[in-house]
């Protein structure tokens, strides 16, 4: 009966989770330097603790309409203030995910994770690999390699 | 209350100093050998070798590495004999000394890797002890005053004769140390460094300065120098007046020296001799302040720097918040901006500290070529031209094995035996040239070329059972695993398996390119282009839409004001990659709108055009406005998510945000291709 | 406080000598990297003892000793010679030139400590 610490965050109407051991930093997010020619879901490059980190806008990645306050400049709304970038490590790669807001860090039992229902898989285009319900809340466990486009290498 | 002092804790310092001394000894021995080839002696180099060995011996004794003491002691005795006989070391002695120094170097490395160094090999010690140090070359005698001559050792006498024979006058300078001089930083040490750049110092001797009544007033240093510098410059170097610079009796007539057993090649002109002496002064960096820093300490510094960057970012946000709340933040902003600039300078300085000079990294190649040439019985010389290029230590460490492989292959496969070269009308000694330059796009280009026999494409095609049309195909075959042009292993290169390793290092490990060009009968060159992970580059910053970009200054040929230039608009309006024509000095250059190419905007606001050259053709890009010129640190972008054509890296212009570095050449190619039907 | 001048062209050697002599207590160390530099420093300031290596790039140790001794104010300055030439002939030559003490390399820390204690004018623990 092992429980692992997870970092959770909101994108759109759902709450997602990722293993805390994969998370390097949780930073506030303003804008990223746009990289022309990169896929549309790549917001661009940011500098975090002196390191160059490519960041993916999860709203776009998940097919949601982009957030309102995406233009650079002083924070115009609460939504913009809440935005975070979750900096993760996957193997030797370091990348960031832009999310609407960060939620609590909590322990989730390994056994609590189940396969997501078909409709969730379909709606999230395979980016969610498991679902867990904790204290009546539903958390969607993200498939990091898929989000970061890993399978494209083998494609 | 005596503490116990354990000198073993100085082992680390010993390794560092011993390694430096080994390098110095090798350099001096190679110089002496070069002298043999020209028929001149190098007494100063002989003294340098002696001192290096003597010092190594002392240090090794203190930290208890007996094997090194034994070898160094033997070599020291050998070389002292030569020094006493006028500073001429015989060829046999140089050879055995190089072997001895190599043996010492191996043992120093063993100590650094915490292995027990092997005992001194008895045969080597015997060889050292039985070698004739001086051979049969006569000593040379300069013609100077008897009084001066009496103060010179045979080695110094020879040094003076050599230098003067090269045509430079000799001077006696008198430097008086004083507290006021010392306070200004003028000491005997600094004076010597200064004079070493102006000529050759033969001897320095202290003298008591006495007053009329015989009372001692202080001391002075008499410095015997051979230099072509003007008298005023010399006086300036010792912070004294012209009276303190006295010519030493008219330079002696060129002494009829009995030449040393000369090697192949013509007698050098006196000018060449003088130049070479200057070059010698360059080889030994006198007065350059250098310390060794552990790489981990630089990493620590960078970590601290990252934290500073983060807190500065927060400061900016706080200031912005205060501005929003209606406070007057102008002065606060000024301070923050100043801090930003200082941070940027600090970042640059720290990253610069990680850079090593390519010339230093490639230094061991000289010794390598020498020993390879010996064992394969060819005459080969190495030319190293790295100018001032520098690169990150991490990249340098990975690059050196690749260079070693290429140089090995050149000696082994490329350079023909002397007879064959003569028959082809080539100089008997083959030349291998290693050149390193920085090129646009934040890259280093290293070329290893030779004037040897070239690669026989047909023979390789036969052996590999493939058709080979271009040099690129040839390279592919050569880099294929298990390929060898020789059926029998050669003595120096093993089975010729180096090329696949070279390609792996250059292309996979370092993310660069490897190219081959060969001409049968004339020679071969391998070109490696390595993107520099971290490099400091001068860039032009410019804006396109609301985004700032930079491009290396070296890539830009010209910058135009669009309003001034004659522009022919694109013939087919609408769509991407429209080409305008920019008129420049009677020629039309295609001009693309960068805003359009990068899908930023329609490029209507462009006011400036930058001209670049790629593959011999000029192309221009129009941008909104230029933002200035500055030196930045460029970092590579590794992640596949953000790799796109024309993006060469990212930098920080001082605002904490990544600014993209563009490779306009690549963009130009992409733009052109889109044009094609 | 006693002022000691340590002269050797090897930085490592200078550091080691200082480490060996630190147990003396109330001493400060200054360093010179060559015989000429040593002569200059001695001419411009006062020291209580000099530790001098014979093998120098510019001026031989014996010449340094002779020159120093030729200066009236330095005649009584304790000079401890440290050298790899440990033979009797070298020792004799050096002492004849005016050195106060002679120590062959390699030496143990305790040895140099004892020699310096012996040579320093008043007692330093």
What pLDDT is attached to residue B492?
A: 40
Does B120 lie in the same domain as B22?
A: yes
- Boundary-marking domain end, from B130, B161, B192: B130
Contacts of A34 in chain B (CB under 8 A): 547
**What is the overall mean pLDDT for chain B?**
78
Cβ distance B658 to A54 less than 8 Å, yes or no, reads no
| Option in C10, C39, C109 nearest B7 (CB) | C109
Closest Cα of chain C to B87: distance in Å?
Answer: 15
Closest Cα of chain C to B13: distance in Å?
Answer: 6
Q: Is A115 on the interface with B (CB under 8 A)?
A: no
pLDDT digits (tens, 9 = 90+) for B15-63: 888 988 998 899 899 888 888 877 777 888 898 899 899 899 999 988 8
What pLDDT is attached to residue B510?
A: 62
Query: Does residue B630 belong to any structural domain of this protein?
Result: yes
Does B173 lie in the same domain as B27?
A: no
| Option in A31, A51, A149 nearest B641 (CB) | A149
H or E element at residue B672: helix B664-675
Q: Chains B, C: CB contacts under 8 A, how many?
A: 102
Tally of structural domains, chain B: 5
A 14-53 residues inside an 8 A Cβ radius of B: 31, 33-39, 42, 44-47, 49-52
* Mean pLDDT, residues B565-591 taken together: 74
Q: Do chains A and C touch (3 or more CB pairs under 8 A)?
A: no
Query: Does residue B272 belong to any structural domain of this protein?
Result: no
Gap between the Cα atoms of A55 and A93, Å rounded: 12
**What is the overall mean pLDDT for chain A?**
84
Q: Enter the tokens of residue B355.
A: 């850079």
Question: Between B353 and B591, where is the model more confident?
Answer: B591
What pLDDT is attached to residue C90?
A: 81
Does B453 lie in the same domain as B320?
A: no
Query: Does residue B463 belong to any structural domain of this protein?
Result: yes
| Lowest-pLDDT choice from A76-80, A140-144, B540-544 | A76-80
Contacts of B302 in chain A (CB under 8 A): 50
Please state, in angstroms and as integers, the Cα–Cα distance from residue B603 to each residue in B200, B221, B229, B569, B648, following that order: 62, 71, 59, 12, 22
CATH number attached to the domain at C2-86+99-119: 3.40.50.2300
Q: Is B217 on the interface with C (CB under 8 A)?
A: no
Residue B257 has pLDDT above 50, yes or no: no
Which of A69-73, B303-307, B567-571, B657-661 is most confident?
B657-661
Contact between A33 and B657 under an 8 Å Cβ cutoff? The reply is yes
Rounded to two decimals, the ipTM of the complex is: 0.86
Contacts of C105 in chain B (CB under 8 A): 58, 61-62
Does B642 lie in the same domain as B621?
A: yes
What residues contact A124, with CB distance under 8 A and at least 6 apart? Answer: A62, A116, A140
What residues contact A118, with CB distance under 8 A and at least 6 apart? Answer: none
Contact between B538 and B631 under an 8 Å Cβ cutoff? The reply is yes
* Mean pLDDT, residues B581-606 taken together: 85
Cβ distance B660 to A152 less than 8 Å, yes or no, reads no
Query: Does residue B2 belong to any structural domain of this protein?
Result: no
Does B645 lie in the same domain as B626?
A: yes
What pLDDT is attached to residue B571?
A: 66
Residue C116 has pLDDT above 90, yes or no: yes
Note the helical H segments in B85-145: 91-112, 122-130
B608 burial level (CB within 10 Å; 0-12, 13-18, 19+): buried
- Boundary-marking domain end, from B331, B353, B375: B353
Query: Does residue B140 belong to any structural domain of this protein?
Result: no
Does B299 lie in the same domain as B220?
A: no
Domains parsed from chain A with CATH numbers: 3-154 (2.40.50.180)
Please state, in angstroms and as integers, the Cα–Cα distance from residue B420 to each residue in A90, B409, B424, B428, B633, following that order: 58, 18, 6, 9, 49
What pLDDT is attached to residue B461?
A: 81
Query: Does residue B285 belong to any structural domain of this protein?
Result: no
H or E element at residue A100: none
Does B202 lie in the same domain as B151?
A: yes
| Option in B61, B179, B208 nearest C70 (CB) | B208
Cβ distance B642 to A74 less than 8 Å, yes or no, reads no
Contact between B38 and C60 under an 8 Å Cβ cutoff? The reply is no
Please state, in angstroms and as integers, the Cα–Cα distance from residue B483 to each residue in A60, B261, B478, B480, B578, following that order: 50, 44, 6, 6, 48
From the candidates B302, B641, B652, which should be mutated to test the interface with A, based on the most A CB atoms within 10 A?
Answer: B641
Is 0.95 topped by the overall pTM?
no
| Option in C23, C67, C84 nearest B61 (CB) | C84
Boundaries of domain holding B63: 7-130
Q: Chains A, B: CB contacts under 8 A, how many?
A: 78
Does B571 lie in the same domain as B519?
A: no
Question: Between B480 and B364, where is the model more confident?
Answer: B364
Q: What are the extents of the domains in chain C?
A: 2-86+99-119
Provide the β-strand partners of residue C102: C81
What pLDDT is attached to residue C58?
A: 73
Does B521 lie in the same domain as B542?
A: no
Note the helical H segments in B377-506: 393-409, 418-423, 457-464, 471-479, 498-503
Cβ distance A45 to B660 less than 8 Å, yes or no, reads yes
Does B500 lie in the same domain as B392?
A: yes
Residue A136 has pLDDT above 80, yes or no: yes
From the candidates A26, A31, A50, A151, which should be mutated to test the interface with B, based on the most B CB atoms within 10 A?
Answer: A50
Residue of chain A whose alpha carbon sits nearest to that of B595: A36
Residue of chain B whose alpha carbon sits nearest to that of A71: B546
Query: Does residue B438 belong to any structural domain of this protein?
Result: yes
Closest Cα of chain B to C18: distance in Å?
Answer: 11
- Boundary-marking domain end, from B305, B328, B353: B353
pLDDT digits (tens, 9 = 90+) for A16-72: 999 998 998 888 898 899 999 888 999 999 987 656 789 999 999 888 887 754 455
B573 burial level (CB within 10 Å; 0-12, 13-18, 19+): exposed
Does B513 lie in the same domain as B364?
A: yes
| Option in B305, B323, B599 nearest A50 (CB) | B305
Cβ distance A49 to B546 less than 8 Å, yes or no, reads no
Does B208 lie in the same domain as B165?
A: yes
Query: Does residue B30 belong to any structural domain of this protein?
Result: yes
pLDDT digits (tens, 9 = 90+) for B421-444: 889 899 888 999 999 998 865 678
What pLDDT is attached to residue A44?
A: 95
| Lowest-pLDDT choice from B77-91, B115-129, C16-30, C95-109 | B77-91
């Amino acid at each position: 009966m092992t429980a692992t610490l997870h970092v959770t965050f909101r994108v759109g109407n759902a709450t997602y989770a990722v293993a805390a051991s994969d998370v390097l930093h949780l930073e506030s997010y303003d804008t990223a330097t746009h990289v022309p020619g990169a896929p549309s879901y790549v917001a661009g490059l940011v500098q975090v603790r002196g390191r160059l980190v490519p960041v993916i806008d999860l709203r776009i990645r998940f097919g949601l309409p982009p957030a309102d306050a995406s233009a650079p400049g002083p924070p115009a709304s609460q939504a913009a203030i809440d935005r975070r970038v979750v900096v993760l490590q996957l193997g030797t790669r370091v990348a960031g995910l832009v999310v609407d807001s960060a939620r609590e860090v909590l322990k989730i039992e390994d056994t609590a994770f189940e396969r997501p229902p078909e409709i969730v898989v379909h709606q999230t285009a395979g980016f969610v690999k498991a679902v867990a319900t904790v204290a009546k809340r539903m958390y969607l466990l993200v498939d990091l390699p898929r989000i970061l486009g890993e399978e494209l290498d083998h494609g | 209350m005596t503490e116990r002092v354990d000198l073993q804790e100085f082992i680390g310092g010993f390794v560092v100093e011993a390694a430096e001394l080994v390098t110095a000894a090798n350099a001096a021995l190679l110089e002496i050998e070069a002298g043999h080839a020209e028929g001149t002696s190098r007494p100063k180099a002989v003294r340098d070798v002696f001192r290096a060995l003597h010092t190594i011996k002392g240090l090794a004794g203190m930290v208890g590495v007996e094997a090194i003491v034994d070898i160094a002691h033997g070599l020291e005795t050998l070389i002292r004999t030569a020094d006493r006989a006028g500073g001429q070391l015989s060829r046999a002695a140089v050879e055995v000394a190089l072997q001895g120094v190599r043996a010492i170097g191996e043992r120093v490395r063993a100590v650094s890797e915490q292995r027990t160094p092997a005992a001194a090999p008895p045969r080597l010690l015997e060889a050292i002890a039985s070698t004739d140090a001086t051979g049969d070359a006569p000593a040379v005698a300069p013609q100077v005053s008897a009084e001066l001559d009496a103060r010179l050792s045979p080695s110094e006498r020879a040094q003076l004769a050599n230098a003067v024979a090269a045509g430079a006058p000799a001077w006696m300078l008198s430097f008086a140390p004083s507290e006021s001089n010392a306070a200004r930083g003028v000491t005997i040490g600094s004076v010597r460094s200064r004079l070493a750049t102006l000529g050759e110092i033969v001897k320095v001797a202290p003298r008591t300065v006495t007053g009329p009544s015989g009372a001692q007033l202080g001391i002075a240093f008499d410095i015997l120098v051979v230099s072509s510098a003007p008298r005023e410059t010399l006086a300036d170097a010792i912070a004294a007046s012209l009276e303190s610079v006295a010519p030493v009796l008219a330079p002696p007539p060129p002494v009829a020296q009995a030449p040393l057993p000369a090697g192949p090649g013509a007698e050098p002109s006196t000018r060449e001799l003088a130049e070479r002496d200057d070059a010698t002064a360059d080889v030994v960096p006198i007065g350059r302040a250098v310390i060794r820093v552990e790489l981990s300490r630089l990493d620590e510094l960078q970590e601290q720097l990252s934290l500073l960057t983060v807190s500065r970012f927060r400061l900016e946000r706080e200031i912005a918040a205060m501005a929003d709340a209606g406070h007057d933040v102008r002065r606060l902003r000024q301070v923050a901006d100043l801090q930003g600039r200082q941070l940027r300078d600090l970042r640059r300085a720290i990253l610069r500290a990680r850079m090593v000079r390519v010339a230093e990294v490639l230094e061991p190649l000289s010794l390598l070529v020498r020993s390879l040439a010996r064992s394969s019985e060819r005459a080969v010389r190495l030319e190293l031209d790295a100018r001032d290029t520098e690169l990150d230590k991490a990249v340098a460490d990975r690059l050196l094995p690749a260079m070693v492989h290429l140089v090995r292959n050149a000696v082994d496969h490329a350079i023909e035996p002397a007879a064959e070269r003569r028959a082809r009308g080539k100089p008997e000694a083959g030349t291998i040239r290693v050149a390193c330059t920085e090129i646009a796009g934040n890259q280093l280009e290293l070329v290893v070329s030779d004037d040897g026999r070239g690669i026989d494409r047909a023979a390789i095609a036969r052996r590999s059972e493939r058709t080979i049309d271009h040099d690129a195909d040839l390279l592919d075959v050569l880099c294929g695993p298990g390929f060898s042009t020789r059926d029998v292993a050669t003595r120096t290169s093993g089975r010729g398996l180096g090329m696949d390793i070279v390609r792996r290092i250059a292309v996979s490990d370092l993310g660069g390119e490897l190219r081959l060009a060969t001409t049968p009968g004339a020679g071969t060159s391998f070109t490696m282009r390595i993107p520099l992970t971290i490099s400091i580059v001068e860039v032009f910053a410019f804006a396109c839409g609301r985004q700032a970009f930079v491009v290396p200054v070296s890539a830009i040929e010209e910058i135009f004001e669009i309003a001034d230039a004659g522009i022919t608009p694109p013939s087919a309006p609408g769509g991407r990659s429209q080409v305008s024509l920019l008129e420049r000095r009677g020629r039309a250059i295609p001009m693309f709108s960068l805003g359009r190419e990068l899908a930023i905007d329609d490029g209507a606001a462009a006011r400036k055009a930058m001209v670049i050259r790629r593959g011999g053709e000029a192309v221009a890009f129009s941008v909104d406005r230029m933002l200035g010129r500055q030196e930045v640190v460029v970092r590579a972008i590794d992640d596949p998510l953000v790799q796109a054509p024309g993006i060469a890296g990212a930098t920080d212009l001082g605002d904490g945000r990544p600014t993209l570095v563009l490779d306009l050449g690549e963009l130009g190619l992409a733009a052109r291709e889109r044009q094609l039907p | 406080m006693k002022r000691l001048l340590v002269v050797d062209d090897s930085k490592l050697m200078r550091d080691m000598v200082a480490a060996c002599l630190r147990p003396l207590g109330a001493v400060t160390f200054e360093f010179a990297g060559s015989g000429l530099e040593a002569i200059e420093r001695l001419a411009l300031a006062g020291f209580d003892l000099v530790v001098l290596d014979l093998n120098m790039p510019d001026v031989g140790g014996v010449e340094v000793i002779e020159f120093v001794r030729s200066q009236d104010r330095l005649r009584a300055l304790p000079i401890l010679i440290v050298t790899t030439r440990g033979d009797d002939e070298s020792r004799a030559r050096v002492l004849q030139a005016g050195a106060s003490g002679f120590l062959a390399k390699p030496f143990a820390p305790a040895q140099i400590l004892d020699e310096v204690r012996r040579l320093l004018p008043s007692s330093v623990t």
